[in-house]
Every structure is written in structure tokens, then in C-alpha cells.
């Protein structure tokens, strides 16, 4: 996403020590040795009741490699239920992906891969349950930026025995060059992006995926739990839409369609997901995961199949001088009816999935959503702290971009406009169409799980009529830092509190931490905890729950309780 304050500008000059706290503890490192054929670990995902995908990648200097695989009910592989062989080559970047069928619903399995010379680590996975189900544990993750730090939250998820599935809501990789966003911290801690330049070609995207899967925490998480992923923007580049992206310059980076195709091919090669169904493209990536009588998890595709061009404040703020101008901008520009977020095919899939969920009387309807959905406007920044900040920045360098951006944010706050125009806030009519579709399907009890913002969120959702549509729970970044940390801890906490006070749909937000969200569903409640890691600057860490609450499903309406 991109606001007047881009993340790269907002965190300019922030050192690793000032951006994140440093409290460590020792964690055993079980990553593969440099000599292993399986240096990128193993993974599983995209499960249904009787099948799932298992994945690995072979490191070899051969033209092709023969790989065998086994799936068993026990960790010692005495009871093998499926096995086979697959040949991989440079054509698929030596990745191995197997759709394992004829499995039992709601069952735990173990899997491994072998070459003639080596064996992989053992992975653990699980199919979706059918029939009556008493509980489902989800780990909700987003925004893992390699240079900003170790993926310790992934490691914590691996050790979390309450977790059945990992729901990754996007920004699994980042596209920036070694001197881009996070580059300074990456050099300090020895985690510099590869390749060194911004990734554009298929080989670039493959190398970046490979680097991210060398992280110890990533390997532990993937080996411990099945993954349900969706992409956001950085798997391709910052803020894409149907015909381009904010961070794509055709004059130097070539054709947009070629870049997007390369990024999606690498994603399908390196992630444990099924190939597209017959007649569907790689971009048409949406799923419905039914978990017994308890829940449906429906993933949204909001980047490559329906999204209209984002609005840029720089083009409109100079013309907004009165309250009438502001209202006209909100109604006629941001909420223009032709500005779509979801494609017609995505909407059709969503409608069918929701209607089926309601008719089957499942207790929870979960929307796996990349970008914040609640209305989140900038509060007034007429506060001594922010006045001093802007004066200090301007005095230091009147032409400094960060000082100018904070002035712009102050003006946006005066006008009561949204923080970000790449989120649902920048597509008001599309959000209402989404709500209308859900309501028509009988689903006004949405549990929306959201990534992207590098902050925790506890939100309530309403349509324009003021009708309650459900709740939204947002997860912070695995390693990507919160936008407000440029202000320091005190300033970040102050702005978080002002945001919650100013916005009726925001109950709580906090962008000071890295971590994940744990949601444990039963038929009465969704027990939710914001789990943080003490540091991402080194692989030793501690975890802490900084907030916990329940979501109660009460007569088709979701409400929070402590």
C-alpha cells in the first residue's frame, strides 16, 4: 500500500536498534546444512478433506533430478499411505510439488522427500475435517520482509500446538533492491536481499523466493503446519492494479504483463498450492476451505483480476479547499462506481461460497483478506507532539521529503480522509458492493482476517446504512515494521490511540510489534490473541500475548467480549 507517507520514507534513517526492541533467548537451529539437497525445507498446503499439496526444492547442479516422496500416518514411516516419484528440472526451478490424494478427512500425516544422495527433513500436515468439528486453530500471518529481520514469528507458529492451519495473507516476499526499503537494517544484521537489484524477471523472482525459504523460522513453520496463502502486492511489486503498479516503471522495467506473469509463475513454483483449474489463469487464485460444520475460509483476490487504478492524493489534495470539495472527493472520486476491487468471477465465486456456507449452517464465515477493510481515517494531528515533529524535521532540512509527507498527513487529518488509498478505503463503492453481496447471501456475520498494515487491528464493520456486517481482525508484520515507528515508541502509541479514538470502526490498533494472530474457533466463540516476538534482529527471541479477546457469534451477528 502507499499513503502520502510511503514506508520507505517513513522509516528512513531508522536503525535496527531504534525500530525494534532487542530481547533474546536461544532457539535451536534445525535448518538444512549447506551440503543438503533440500536447502529450502519442505512445505504443505492448499488442503481439502481428502487431498493436499506437499512441496520441496532440490539444490543440484544436474540437468534434472529424480525425487521420491512418501506420506505416512506416523513419524517413523511404518504406515505409509502414499508414495511416488517425480522428476524435476530447471524448467520448474527444481521445485517438486505433489498433489497427494485419497487421504482421510481431519487426519494428521507426515511426509518426506528423497534423492539418491539425501533425505529431506520430515514435514507434518493435516487435511480439512468433515462432519461435526469442535475446534479449529488458525495462525494468521502477513508481511515477512527478509532484510528487516529474522522470521521468528514463523518459528513461534511452528511451536504453537493450538494451530491447525497457517493463513498467510500476503507479502510473503518483497521485491525491493538491496538498498530499498529495509536495506539499511539488512546490512546491519547480515540479511541483504538477493538478487541485489529489484526483482523483475522470472529468474529474479525465483531467486528471491529461494532466499526467503532459507530462513530457519520459515522452514520450521512450513514443516509443522499446512499453509493457506494468498498474495498481496509485494509478491509482484508495490501497489499493482490491472494494468500496472506504483512500483513498476515500463521505461526501465519492461512490459507490465511480462513482469506479473513472471511473478505468478515463480509463486506457483515455490508455494505449496494447487495448479489452476482447467480454464482458469494463474491470476484467478481464490479458494473456499470448508472445515466440517464449523467454518468456511474464503480467500479473496484483490490485485490482478479486478482492481482499478489507485487514487493518488498528490493529484487531488491541492483542489480540496472546502468541506464540499472534501465530500465531493469522497463520493465522486474514491467511491466512483466504476472503480472495482474484485473481478466479476471473484464476486461470483464469493457469492456461491457464502450461500453454500449459510445453507450448510456452518458457524463461521471467514474472509481471508489482504488489505484493511474497516474505515480508517487520519485523526487530527494538531497535537504538540506532531507540531514539534514537523517543526523539527523542517528545521533540519526544509526540503526533506519526510517533513513534507508529515505536513501532507496533517492536511489529510484536517479533512478527515483515509490513511491509505490502496486499501478498501480507496474503493468505497466496491466495498459497498462486497457488503451487499454478502448480505444478499445471508452472511452479515463476517469474520474478516486481514494483513498488509504491519499492525494489529480489532475492528467492527458496518455498511453505509449503518448495518453491522461483522468484525475485522488484522495481524501485524512477521518482520516488516509498523508505519508509525518513525515516531518512536511514544509517538507510535500516541498515534495508534488517536486512530482508535477517531474512527468508530476501530476498537484497538497497535503497530509497535512484530508477530502473528492466533484465532481458535469453536461453536461459541473465536478466542483471539495477538502474539508478539521480542525481537527480529537476531534468531533468539521470546513471545508474549499483548492482547486477547473473544468474538461471539450471537444470532447471526458478531460481537466482541473480553
Record the cell numbers describing residue 472, joined without a space: 475485522
Q: Give yes or no for residue 525 having a pLDDT over 50.
A: yes
At 561 the pLDDT is 87
Inter-residue contact 237 to 248 (CB < 8 Å): yes
Q: Using the predicted structure, report yes or no on whether residue 417 has a pLDDT greater than 70.
A: yes
Half-sphere exposure of 201 (CA within 13 A, CB side): 7
- What's residue 15's pLDDT? 31
Q: What is the mean pLDDT of residues 79-101?
A: 98
> Would you state the pLDDT for residue 487?
81
Mean pLDDT, residues 122-126? 98
Of 424, 93, 377, 53, residue with least CA distance to 232: 424
Residue ranges of the domains in the chain? 7-378+416-561
Is a pLDDT exceeding 50 seen at residue 27?
A: no
Q: Count H helices, E strands: the chain?
A: 14, 23
In this predicted structure, what is the pLDDT of residue 58? 98
Is residue 343 within 8 Å of 305, Cβ to Cβ? yes
* Confidence (pLDDT) at 361: 95
Distance separating alpha carbons of residues 185 and 146, to the nearest angstrom? 10
pLDDT tens per residue, range 217-251: 999 999 999 999 999 999 999 999 999 999 999 99
pLDDT confidence of 400, banded at 50, 70, 90? low
- The mean pLDDT value of the chain amounts to 92
**CA–CA separation, 468 vs 466, rounded Å?**
6
- Decide which of 23 and 543 is more confident: 543
Q: Which three cell numbers stand for residue 446?
A: 463476517
Give this prediction's pTM.
0.93
Position 486 confidence tier, pLDDT thresholds 50, 70, 90:
confident
Which grid cell sits at 264? 505468478
Percent with pLDDT over 70 in the chain: 91
How do residues 65-78 score in pLDDT, each as one tens digit? 999 999 999 999 99
Looking only at the bridges linking them, the beta strands covering 543-553 and 525-533 are antiparallel
Q: Could you give the C-alpha distances from 316 to 319, 320, 329, 381, in angstroms and in order? A: 6, 7, 8, 20
Q: What is the mean pLDDT of residues 484-497?
A: 89
Q: Which CATH class is domain 7-378+416-561?
A: alpha beta
| β-pair type (543-553, 558-561) | antiparallel
Question: Is residue 24 very low, low, confident or very high in pLDDT (cuts 50, 70, 90)?
Answer: very low
Smallest CA-to-CA distance from 532 within 519, 520, 517, 543 is with: 543
Buried b (16+ CB within 10 A) or exposed e, 84-99: eeeebeeebbbbbbbe
Q: What is the mean pLDDT of residues 183-205?
A: 98
Look at residue 406 in the predicted model and tell me its pLDDT: 78
Mean per-residue pLDDT, 447-473:
97
Asked if residue 237 lies in contact with residue 255, where contact means CB atoms within 8 angstroms, the answer is no
Average pLDDT over residues 117-145: 97
CA distance 70 to 82: 6
Name beta bridge partners: 56: 42, 96
- Better pLDDT: 386 or 29: 386
pLDDT of the residue at 154 = 98
Kindly tell me if the per-residue pLDDT of 5 is higher than 60. Answer: no
Residue 8: pLDDT band with limits 50, 70, 90: very low
Give me the phi and psi of 216, to 5 degrees please: -60, -45
Query: What's the CA gap between 556 and 470, in Å, rounded?
Result: 9
Question: What is the full DSSP assignment across 468-536?
Answer: EEEEEEE---SSPPPGGGGGHHHHHHHHHHHHHHH-TTEEEEE-S-EEEEEEEE-SSEEEEEEEEES-S
- Among 448, 443, 453, 434, residue whose Cα is nearest residue 526: 448
Return phi, psi of residue 345, to 5°.
-65, -40
Phi, psi torsion values for 81, nearest 5 degrees: -105, -15
The pLDDT of residue 389 is 74
Give φ, ψ of 221 to 5 degrees: -65, -45
Integer CA distances (angstroms), 308 to 84, 336, 340, 408, 420, in order: 44, 11, 5, 24, 15
Checking if the pLDDT of 478 tops 70, the result is yes
Burial class of residue 5 in the structure, from the number of CB atoms within 10 Å of its CB (0-12 exposed, 13-18 middle, 19+ buried): buried
546: number of Cβ within 10 Å: 14
Interval 431-445: pLDDT, tens: 999 999 999 999 999
Mean of pLDDT values over 417-434? 98
Residue 5 DSSP label:
S
Question: Pick from 135, 155, 296: which is nearest to 224 by CA?
Answer: 155
Q: For the segment 245-295, what is each residue's pLDDT rounded down to a tens digit?
A: 999 999 999 999 999 999 999 999 999 999 999 999 999 999 999 999 999
Helices 152-159 and 216-224, packing angle to 10 deg:
30
Q: Is the pLDDT of residue 6 over 60?
A: no
Long-range contacts (CB closer than 8 Å, 24 or more residues apart) made by 274-281: 274/46, 274/53, 274/99
Helix (H) or strand (E) holding 185: helix 183-189
81: helix, coil or strand? strand
- Distance between CA atoms of residues 489 and 484, nearest Å: 8
3-state secondary structure 310-347: CCCHHHCHHHCCCHHHHHHHHHHHHCCCCCCCCCHHHH
Mean pLDDT of 122-146: 98
Amino acid at each position: 500500500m502507499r499513503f502520502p507517507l510511503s514506508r520507505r520514507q517513513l522509516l528512513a534513517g531508522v536503525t535496527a536498534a531504534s525500530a525494534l526492541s532487542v530481547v533474546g533467548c536461544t532457539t535451536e537451529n534445525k535448518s538444512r546444512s549447506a551440503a543438503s539437497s533440500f536447502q529450502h525445507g519442505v512445505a504443505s498446503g492448499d488442503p481439502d478433506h481428502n487431498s493436499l499439496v506437499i512441496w520441496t526444492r532440490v539444490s543440484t547442479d544436474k540437468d534434472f533430478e529424480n525425487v521420491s516422496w512418501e506420506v505416512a500416518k506416523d513419524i517413523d514411516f511404518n504406515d505409509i499411505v502414499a508414495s511416488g516419484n517425480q522428476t524435476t528440472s530447471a524448467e520448474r526451478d527444481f521445485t517438486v510439488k505433489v498433489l497427494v490424494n485419497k487421504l482421510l478427512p481431519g487426519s494428521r500425516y507426515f511426509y518426506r522427500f528423497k534423492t539418491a544422495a539425501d533425505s529431506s527433513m520430515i514435514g507434518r500436515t493435516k487435511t480439512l475435517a468433515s462432519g461435526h468439528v469442535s475446534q479449529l486453530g488458525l495462525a494468521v500471518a502477513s508481511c515477512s520482509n527478509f532484510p528487516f529481520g529474522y522470521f521468528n514469528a514463523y518459528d513461534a507458529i511452528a511451536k504453537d500446538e493450538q494451530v491447525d492451519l497457517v493463513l498467510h495473507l500476503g507479502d510473503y516476499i518483497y521485491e525491493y533492491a538491496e538498498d530499498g526499503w529495509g536495506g539499511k537494517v539488512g546490512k546491519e544484521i547480515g540479511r541483504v536481499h538477493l538478487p541485489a537489484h529489484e526483482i523483475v524477471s522470472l529468474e529474479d523472482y525465483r531467486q528471491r523466493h529461494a532466499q526467503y525459504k532459507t530462513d530457519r523460522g520459515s522452514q520450521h513453520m512450513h514443516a509443522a503446519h499446512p499453509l493457506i496463502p494468498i498474495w498481496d502486492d509485494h509478491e509482484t511489486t508495490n501497489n499493482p492494479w490491472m494494468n500496472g503498479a506504483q512500483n513498476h516503471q515500463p521505461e526501465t522495467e519492461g512490459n507490465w504483463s511480462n513482469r506479473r506473469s513472471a511473478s505468478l509463475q515463480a509463486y506457483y513454483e515455490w508455494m505449496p498450492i494447487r495448479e489452476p483449474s482447467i480454464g482458469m489463469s494463474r491470476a484467478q487464485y481464490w479458494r473456499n476451505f470448508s472445515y466440517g460444520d464449523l467454518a468456511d475460509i474464503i480467500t479473496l483476490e484483490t490485485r490482478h483480476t479486478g482492481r482499478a487504478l489507485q487514487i493518488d492524493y498528490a493529484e487531488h489534495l491541492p483542489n480540496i479547499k472546502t468541506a464540499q470539495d472534501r465530500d465531493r472527493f469522497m463520493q465522486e472520486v474514491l467511491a466512483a462506481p466504476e472503480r472495482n476491487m474484485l473481478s466479476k468471477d471473484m464476486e461470483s465465486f464469493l457469492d456461491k461460497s457464502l450461500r453454500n456456507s449459510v445453507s450448510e449452517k456452518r458457524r463461521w464465515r471467514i474472509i481471508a483478506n489482504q488489505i484493511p477493510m474497516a474505515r480508517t481515517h487520519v485523526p487530527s494531528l494538531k497535537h504538540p507532539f506532531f507540531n514539534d515533529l514537523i517543526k523539527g524535521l523542517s528545521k533540519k532540512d526544509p526540503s526533506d521529503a519526510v517533513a513534507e509527507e508529515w505536513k501532507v498527513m496533517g492536511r489529510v487529518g484536517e479533512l478527515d480522509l483515509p490513511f491509505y488509498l490502496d486499501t478498501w478505503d480507496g474503493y468505497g463503492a466496491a466495498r459497498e458492493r462486497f457488503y451487499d453481496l454478502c448480505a444478499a447471501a445471508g452472511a452479515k456475520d463476517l469474520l474478516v482476517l486481514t494483513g498488509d498494515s504491519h499492525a494489529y487491528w480489532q475492528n467492527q464493520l458496518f455498511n453505509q446504512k449503518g448495518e453491522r456486517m461483522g468484525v475485522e481482525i488484522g495481524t501485524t508484520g512477521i518482520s516488516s515494521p509498523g508505519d508509525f515507528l518513525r515516531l518512536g515508541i511514544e509517538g507510535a502509541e500516541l498515534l495508534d490511540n488517536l486512530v482508535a479514538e477517531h474512527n468508530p470502526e476501530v476498537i484497538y490498533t497497535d503497530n509497535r510489534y512484530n508477530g502473528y494472530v492466533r484465532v481458535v474457533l469453536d461453536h461459541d466463540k473465536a478466542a483471539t490473541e495477538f502474539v508478539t516476538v521480542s525481537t527480529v534482529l537476531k534468531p533468539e527471541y521470546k513471545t508474549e500475548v499483548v492482547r486477547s479477546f473473544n468474538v461471539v457469534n450471537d444470532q447471526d451477528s458478531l460481537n466482541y467480549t473480553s
